[in-house]
Amino acid sequence: MFLSFGTNVATLTQDESVTFNAILTDPDGVADIVGGTLRSTDESLEFGVFAAAGQPGAYSISLSWAQIHQTEPIEFAGGESPRGFRAVFFDQGGNKATDELTLDLVCAGGAACDGSCTDLAVDGLNCGSCGHACDGGEDACEAGACAPALSRCINFDEGLETCTAACQSFGETCAENACGAGITTRTFNNLMWCEDDLNGANKIMACDEPQMWNIGARAIKCCCTDTK
């Protein structure tokens, strides 16, 4: 039977480790205890094997945040996530003893995505929710929503004459003079330059203003709300 089962810390965050300590006794003597493992509360997952910890009947196992994530993915919002653990021990007669505890996994930024602490309000790779990436990249998230970003390249022969029409074709809305240093459009000599983002010319213009397709502006990117 368990005399005690606990941890050396009450909470755990990224890059930290926790030690689980168990002390048991047995009617036939502690030498009759075969050993134990640390598992999930439903015992479907195993985190590792307890090692003898000095005095007879004492056992421990240390796990890092990364090791816990590897066994059971860490992902949550709201600042913390209680995680249950069960210690399972056996004696030589096959008798089983179990005990459980809960450890709070916490992140200062309020959330964890794929095992990494983050702030969903400003993380452009996890904007508003885990896995929701902004077109504008990791710095394009404001208050949990993606900021406007330049669209994919639009070639002159696609029949999209305004940025309003172009953004609508993506299911988004044109954001007038809201990208970069305050632009609506970036023009390029050709589609290849556009796709490589080379030698673009920034333009301040209205969303409904028709594009002036010419030899120096055969492809464009439009500033669109990132609403996907």
pTM value is 0.77
What the chain holds in terms of domains, given with CATH numbers, is 2-106 (2.60.40.10), 109-146 (no CATH), 148-228 (no CATH)
Q: What's the pLDDT at 139?
A: 86
Q: What's the pLDDT at 227?
A: 65
User: Can you give the chain as a three-state secondary structure string?
Assistant: CEEEEEECCCEECCCCEEEEEEEECCCCCHHHEEEEEEEECCCCCEEEECEECCCCCEEEEEEEHHHHHHHCCCCEECCEEEEEEEEEEEECCCCEEEEEEEEEEECCCCEEECCEEECCCCCCCCCCCCCCCCCCCCCCEECCEECCEECCCEEHHHCCCCHHHHHHHCCCCECCCCECCCECEEEECCHHHHHHCCCCEEECCCCCCCCCCECCECEEEEEECCCC
| Rounded Cα–Cα distance for residues 224 and 226 (Å) | 6
* Residue 149, burial from CB neighbour count under 10 angstroms (0-12, 13-18, 19+): buried
Q: What is the mean pLDDT of each run of 10 residues along the chain (228 residues)?
A: 97 98 95 96 97 94 98 94 97 96 96 97 95 88 92 94 94 93 94 94 96 91 84
Q: What's the pLDDT at 135?
A: 81
Q: What's the pLDDT at 44?
A: 97
Q: How many CA atoms lie within 13 A of 22 on its CB side?
A: 29
Q: What's the pLDDT at 32?
A: 95
Q: What's the pLDDT at 105?
A: 98
Q: What's the pLDDT at 40?
A: 97
